[in-house]
Amino acid sequence: MSADLLDDFVRADRDRALGTYGIRVHREGRPPVEHRFRSDDRVNLYSVAKTFTSVAVGLAEAEGRLSLDDRLLDHLPELRPIAADGLGAVTLRQLLTMTSGTSHRWFADERITAADLLHEIVSAPLTAAPGTRFAYTGSGPYALGRVVARVTGADLRSFLLPRLFAPLDLHDPPWHTCPLGHPLAESDLFLRTEELARFAQLLVQEGRWNGRQVLPARYVRRMAGERVDTSAVTYGEPYTHGYGLGVWIDPADTYRLDGRYGQYVVVSPARRAAVTVTAHAERDQELLAAIHELVVARL
């Protein structure tokens, strides 16, 4: 198949007004296939940014700066006096998998009123024992971004610039920051469809790019391999198949990067393929279903 792979998807998008900006398909060993519905401008990836934060943690781990089994407060000992009861047991892995047990709920579209958002996160009471309950929030990724800054001496974006963004030729990507100047980590990273598709291809290739191992292959495999149960999620069937290290688990041995309004990367390791979409979709779960039914299932 060539460009006709996308014919039914393009028709569905127009008939149903799904709101796609662009779609690009990578299949190893074949030319990419894409379709544009509008110009390829940089857009907010929303929660797809969480996956970039995850790979930053994986890179820091590979450099020996931290371990996923480290406790959050081991890297931020000055916050122990204000930490909620039980927070001392929270690990970096639990922050990545949304199982820290925190009651703190924050996303980047909400105004930050605290003098330091990290202090507010650390002091919020736990509502479950760490590791026992999934609850989706941007608080954990933001805290992880602060840990990366602590152990590397560089903020999240600066840490990724030479290690990830430069090798993929993602020139100077904007990443909005909190009032203290730290990247929001959970959202507000801006890339074009084609730029995000390079990251998708990197994941298919288990971190290898132009003959260089940019990301640790083992960590890329762990992203979907180390997963937690999300069957109790009530905001849609696509979110009930599990959550890994900054990625959602999909059926049929696929996993996805998932951002509000239809920012998606669906990765199929078995097919050595990935589908990348940017959009403004008010019915984003309908868009995701079309991606799976009309593109992924036909790879």
One domain, residues 162 and 242: no
Per residue in 54-106, pLDDT tens? 999 999 999 999 999 999 999 999 999 999 999 999 999 999 999 999 999 99
Per residue in 206-242, pLDDT tens? 999 999 999 999 999 999 999 999 999 999 999 999 9
Of the pLDDT bands very low, low, confident and very high (cuts 50, 70, 90), residue 1 is very low
pLDDT at 12 over 70: yes
What pLDDT is stored for residue 131 in this prediction? Answer: 97
Of 191, 226, 247, which marks where a domain is finished? 191
Which contacts (CB < 8 Å, 24+ apart) does range 153-158 have? 155/181, 155/182, 155/183, 156/53, 156/56, 156/182, 156/183, 156/185, 157/183
Give the mean pLDDT of the chain.
Answer: 97
Cα dihedral across residues 62, 64, 70, 76: positive or negative: negative
Query: What is the SS3 assignment for 60?
Result: helix
What pLDDT is stored for residue 242 in this prediction? Answer: 98
One domain, residues 21 and 83: no
Of the pLDDT bands very low, low, confident and very high (cuts 50, 70, 90), residue 205 is very high
One domain, residues 172 and 70: yes
Scored b (16 or more CB within 10 A) or e, 116-128 reads: ebbebbbebebee
Of 138, 168, 191, which marks where a domain is finished? 191
The residue assigned the tokens 């600066």 is: 158
pLDDT at 141 over 80: yes
Query: What is the SS3 assignment for 184?
Result: coil
Structure tokens at 256: 């996805």
What pLDDT is stored for residue 252 in this prediction? Answer: 86
Of 138, 160, 191, which marks where a domain is finished? 191
49-62 and 139-152 helices, crossing angle to 10°: 30
Q: Are 153 and 147 in contact (CB under 8 A)?
A: no
Q: Which of 224, 190, 219, 248 is closest to 66 using CA atoms?
A: 219
Q: What is the domain count for the chain?
A: 2
What domain range includes position 110? Answer: 47-191
